[in-house]
Structure 1
Amino acid sequence: MSASPATLGHRRALRFWGWGYADEVLDADEETRLADLVSLLGGGSPVAAPTLADFTLPAPRITPPASLQDICSASLYDRLSHALGKSLADSLRLLHRTVPAVPDQVVFPHDETQLEAVLDWANSVRAAVIPFGGGTSVCGGVEADIRGDYDGVLSVDLQYMNRVLDIDRSSRAALIEGGALGPELEAALKPAGLTLRHFPQSFQFSTLGGWIATRAGGHYATQYTHIDDFVENLRMLTPRGVLETRRLPGSGAGPSPDRMLIGSEGTLGFITRAWMRVQDRPRYRASASVRFPDMAQATRAVRAVSQAALFPSNCRLLDPAEALLNGVGDGTTALLVLAFESADHPLDAWLARALELMADHGGRWDAEAAQRSLRGQDDSAGAEHRQGAAGTWRDQFLRAPYYRNYLTPRGVMADTFETAITWDRFDAFYTGVRAALERAIREATGADGLLSCRFTHVYPDGPAPYFTFYARGTDQGDMQAMLDRWRHIKRAANAAVTGLGGTVTHHHAVGRDHRPAGYDEQVPALFREAFAGARAVLDPQGMMNPGVLVDTPSRGAVAGGVLGN
């Protein structure tokens, strides 16, 4: 196998210090809007984007055996692009030209046989092993700064294990390898008229194995909210061997092994393939954008819809600030982006009943636009569901991760955190989290920031609020000072959501960033001890992604990642 000077991978080169492909840029309108935000928050002149030449890496501590040399890389690009994920903290460290640690080798196995050989090699040289899918972690889930007494670190990239291996049309299921990116698996399913219909914001750059390992949230705002809902069986290669569950539509045979593997975040082994429940591609779509005079009325309307068994595919509630920041409001009203879809039937009755519930709680909408949506609900008739405020918000949602590439070098922090809470506690939770974050931003920066919230998913018993904040990081180009400010705000966010009864993460995973003041406080100590016991069986040497979810005492205690620094 011949390698390019930069990488052994076969995919288009990514921007190693930020989001997206290396050759992608913002358009002029986007830059103009972001420049206004920088001016509002007091940012400064941009720090120059880093180049590979800015970094001098330590020599690899371990050398692959001859049998694995063709799939191992110690190139500058590969080591840097696998050292960190895509969080704000990750970008800040790369803009500062300071990386805590890089993998000694990046490995690109093509099949399970090679992957098993990699695990054997790692065990023989006392190396930590970090599973790497698309590298889109925003919580320290793939970084090489693992601490402990390891003699090396391997980042194992599964991009060559990316095929759809089989399709069972009668059961509507597909066998897919763990390294498949979202667009790759959807392209393979499309000729069969099928779709996994799981579209996280990172869809273009993240993998099936990564979604399963982190319990990722996807397209559906109700009913099918997490990747968990689509997993029919799993195959995982652990340091002890293969663990494969039985393929069944459901089972009551004791505790579910699938459920232990889903959300394990690379600490037990590699998810090499899975049978996934897929769906017929939607044919009918209908939508409406509903405005409310305040967040309280909007929240009651969303609760009514979530408890009415209508199961909208989209039920994104934007508070007034979120609507304003996304260009779909003036900051005085909350906006609900409501949508339904089906592969089987028209949606007139579903949308009509949902709008009745909206009216009961003070909602107002463009009746003609809703009717146009219904007239165009069959895909053959057009795409009315992508027009108006709903279409504008959707475009902003997909582009938002790219905006950090502009804002961060100019000293503006833009970050998010998500959680979930029951309806009876939401009002106090929303008020309390906002107050805690506003206070933390002032403490860290000496100035007010911008804070907004939307619902990404809703359940009959509560919503999943997703908070976004913008704040001045520095006007002097000091990325380290900006990182310190971010750490202060991040700690406050973790403490606020867990202290007020929510979860430290609804779908972004735990990683290293959510363990302190978050996961370790939220999850009962006895359960964490039980999970550590299961890990000790599957990974006796503690080589798999140390510091994520559990420490590895036999290889040196982990201090808790970047927030523990």
Structure 2
Amino acid sequence: MKGKTRSWWGWGNTEDAVCGSEREELTRRPAALLPKADLTIHEAPPIEAFGVGASRIKAPDSLAAIVSADVRDRLAHSHGQAFRDVVRALLGALPHVPDLVVRPASEAQVVHVLDWCHDANIAVIPFGGGSSVVGGVEPRVGERYSGVVSLDLTSMDQVLEVDPTSRAALVQAGVLGPHLEEQLRPQGYTLRFFPQSFEFSSLGGWLATRAGGHFATRLTHIDDLAESLRVVTPAGVVESRRLPGSGAGPSPDRMFLGSEGSLGVITQAWVRLQDRPRWRAGASVSFAQYDAGVQAVRALSQSGLDPANCRLLDPMEALINAGSATAVLVLGFESADHPVDAWMERALELCRDHGGTLSEPPRHTDSSARIVRTAAADTWRSSFVRMPYQRDALAAQSMIVETFETACTWDRFDALRAAVHDAAQDAMRQVGAEGVVTCRFTHVYPDGPAPYFGIYAAGRWGRTVEQWDEIKQAVSQALITAGATITHHHAVGRDHRPWYDQQRPDLFAAALQAGKKVLDPAGILNPGAVIDPLQTPGRA
């Protein structure tokens, strides 16, 4: 990331944007799949075109050194990285812009910022790495606040302590994925947590959103890796005790994991580390029938083998992202302690029991410096890393390219998949967007999968946000009606609130509100994300 420029409107670095032959090849895919698509390329407008006004608020002199009112900085902190965020930026329509961006370099400065904002009735939006895809970092807070601050902790990015005996580390919350791994690598450790947003998301963001990593089974969520949290709230500091486990009442960590900065700002955490893997094995298994692949993955998830990768792509997903005409299972094992040949062989036996075939034998290595991939897996992995950049490029060509991720029990999957497919196709017809629906498993558990549904549709430039919103509403309601979750790992934010409110029990919602009243009595922390602030006398 050194020497590169972060895009203010889209994903990642400007130097890594899709261009040249990659763009030509990318354009050929929707042209072949959806021949009526208008694939004219639209460029982002200049920053001056947004007409961003002056800040409505002024920070105390004691905070001046960590405050930015730069328009580019404010625009970059005005949105996340969802499809609708990217398209609105391309259209020059970002109506909610923070007044200031504040980058504290210490916990004491975080306390100072929250004290100031509490007293001045200023909303505080914790930004993390800005990779939210659910409106979680957008300063869409209403009119009751005198201003809005985007709180960016990326200056707090150090591993403060490593406990090799317990194999854990105390880490500041603002560290981005690559820098965290750089600091752990010399001692032979890894957090082993690699979401697709890894390069541009922070530890604090992962914790605050209950993020899911790349690995498909066992320790899939950041929850599993959190040993202790330290959280600054307007009412004071909360720090949980470091323990491997405890039965002492409800866990304080569980209150803040997934709270998305609405209850407090996570400043540091003790996290459980892993030894860096030495042995790896990888294979790609094809299934002529998708349902057979589903049954194979269920058998794998209930076998106790715990593969590191167990991603089943349906035929359409495999065709678009891996060039295969059949369902493909990308399967992998790794270990720091022992060779994994026997685990892979047993997994392949299970796959063959369900009609799985291999076009090439599995690959095994004994080297921590190499990643094992088969040809199909290598194609898919490369596509996985480039997906966000390619999504932006297609969004600029009027394509609607976005996802729904969820989880359900195995007994409900067939009905869920049918419901999502029907709801998406019907919504696409209603909005006049011809397209396809794909499905892949990102994570699997003994009692159910985490399906990741993709939408690839030809939209109309200037209307793709509205078209997507209609599709999203239809599919989101289908998820809840079918008994699935509105999100497995993308969080709630503001965009998922209507369906999260249906999913969570009413009494639990009331308990959350009571907790917010104690921790954030003025209701300044990320208003509208996860839970609404109570009306405070004199602040309505």
Corresponding residue number in structure 1 for 2:294: 299
Corresponding residue number in structure 2 for 1:47: 42
**For the residues of structure 1 that align with 2:173 and 2:350, how far apart are their CA atoms?**
41
**For the residues of structure 2 that align with 1:555 and 1:491, how far apart are their CA atoms?**
31
Whether the 8 Å CA contact 2:283–2:374 is kept in 1: the answer is: no
- Could you say what secondary structure the match of 1:365 adopts? coil
**For the residues of structure 1 that align with 2:246 and 2:4, how far apart are their CA atoms?**
41
- Do residues 334 (structure 1) and 327 (structure 2) align? yes
CA change 1:488–1:455 in 2 (3 A) is same
* Cα offset, 1:299, TM superposition: 0.6
Whether the 8 Å CA contact 1:163–1:176 is kept in 2: the answer is: yes
* Cα offset, 1:344, TM superposition: 0.4
Quick one: which of 485, 505, 516 aligns to 1:503?
485
Whether the 8 Å CA contact 1:195–1:281 is kept in 2: the answer is: yes
**For the residues of structure 1 that align with 2:134 and 2:161, how far apart are their CA atoms?**
33
Whether the 8 Å CA contact 2:154–2:174 is kept in 1: the answer is: yes
- Do residues 20 (structure 1) and 12 (structure 2) align? yes
Which residue identity lines up with residue 349 of structure 2 in the other structure? E
- Do residues 452 (structure 1) and 417 (structure 2) align? no
**For the residues of structure 1 that align with 2:409 and 2:333, how far apart are their CA atoms?**
24
* Cα offset, 1:381, TM superposition: 9.1
Quick one: which of 207, 211, 214 aligns to 1:219?
214
Whether the 8 Å CA contact 2:434–2:459 is kept in 1: the answer is: no
Whether the 8 Å CA contact 2:284–2:331 is kept in 1: the answer is: yes
Structure 1: unaligned runs, 5 residues or longer: 1-9, 557-565
Corresponding residue number in structure 1 for 2:149: 154
**For the residues of structure 2 that align with 1:410 and 1:219, how far apart are their CA atoms?**
29
- Could you say what secondary structure the match of 1:554 adopts? coil
Quick one: which of 134, 137, 162 aligns to 1:142?
137
Whether the 8 Å CA contact 2:517–2:534 is kept in 1: the answer is: no
Quick one: which of 264, 269, 277 aligns to 2:264?
269
CA change 1:11–1:537 in 2 (3 A) is farther
**For the residues of structure 2 that align with 1:25 and 1:14, how far apart are their CA atoms?**
11
Whether the 8 Å CA contact 1:148–1:555 is kept in 2: the answer is: no
| Map 1:148-547 → 2, pairs under 5 A | 148-330=143-325, 333-366=326-359, 368-370=360-362, 373-374=363-364, 377-379=365-367, 383=371, 385-445=372-432, 447-474=433-460, 477-478=461-462, 481-516=463-498, 518-547=499-528
- Could you say what secondary structure the match of 1:369 adopts? coil
* Cα offset, 1:166, TM superposition: 0.4
- Could you say what secondary structure the match of 2:198 adopts? coil
**For the residues of structure 1 that align with 2:318 and 2:27, how far apart are their CA atoms?**
19
**For the residues of structure 2 that align with 1:451 and 1:288, how far apart are their CA atoms?**
26
**For the residues of structure 1 that align with 2:269 and 2:46, how far apart are their CA atoms?**
38
CA change 1:114–1:530 in 2 (3 A) is same
- Could you say what secondary structure the match of 2:200 adopts? coil
Which residue identity lines up with residue 325 of structure 1 in the other structure? I
CA change 1:17–1:380 in 2 (3 A) is closer
Q: What is the aligned-residue identity percentage?
A: 53
Whether the 8 Å CA contact 2:8–2:73 is kept in 1: the answer is: no
* Cα offset, 1:284, TM superposition: 0.3
Quick one: which of 520, 527, 533 aligns to 1:552?
533
**For the residues of structure 2 that align with 1:136 and 1:358, how far apart are their CA atoms?**
36
* Cα offset, 1:164, TM superposition: 0.3
**For the residues of structure 2 that align with 1:206 and 1:555, how far apart are their CA atoms?**
33
**For the residues of structure 2 that align with 1:387 and 1:464, how far apart are their CA atoms?**
24
**For the residues of structure 2 that align with 1:212 and 1:62, how far apart are their CA atoms?**
30
CA change 1:45–1:63 in 2 (3 A) is same
Structure 2: unaligned runs, 5 residues or longer: none
CA change 1:56–1:172 in 2 (3 A) is same
Deviates more, 1:423-432 or 1:174-183: 423-432
Which residue identity lines up with residue 510 of structure 1 in the other structure? V
Corresponding residue number in structure 2 for 1:108: 103
Whether the 8 Å CA contact 1:38–1:410 is kept in 2: the answer is: no
* Cα offset, 1:24, TM superposition: 2.3
**For the residues of structure 2 that align with 1:378 and 1:532, how far apart are their CA atoms?**
52
Which residue identity lines up with residue 514 of structure 2 in the other structure? G
- Could you say what secondary structure the match of 1:276 adopts? strand
CA change 1:392–1:546 in 2 (3 A) is same
| Map 1:22-101 → 2, pairs under 5 A | 22-39=14-31, 40=34, 42-101=37-96
Taking only aligned residues, the RMSD between alpha carbons, in angstroms, comes to: 1.5
1:162-186 deviations in Å (ceiling 9; x for gaps): 0000001111101100000000100
* Cα offset, 1:404, TM superposition: 2.2
**For the residues of structure 1 that align with 2:24 and 2:14, how far apart are their CA atoms?**
21
Corresponding residue number in structure 2 for 1:5: none
TM-score by length of 2: 0.96
Which residue identity lines up with residue 151 of structure 1 in the other structure? S
* Cα offset, 1:483, TM superposition: 1.1
Which residue identity lines up with residue 207 of structure 1 in the other structure? S
**For the residues of structure 2 that align with 1:316 and 1:70, how far apart are their CA atoms?**
46
CA change 1:524–1:380 in 2 (3 A) is closer
1:485-532 deviations in Å (ceiling 9; x for gaps): 11101101210111111000000000001112x101111111111111
* Cα offset, 1:120, TM superposition: 1.1
**For the residues of structure 1 that align with 2:131 and 2:38, how far apart are their CA atoms?**
26
Whether the 8 Å CA contact 2:230–2:269 is kept in 1: the answer is: yes
Across the two proteins, how many residue pairs are aligned to each other? 533
TM-score by length of 1: 0.92
**For the residues of structure 1 that align with 2:511 and 2:403, how far apart are their CA atoms?**
31
Which residue identity lines up with residue 113 of structure 1 in the other structure? A
* Cα offset, 1:553, TM superposition: 3.2
Deviates more, 1:403-412 or 1:240-249: 403-412
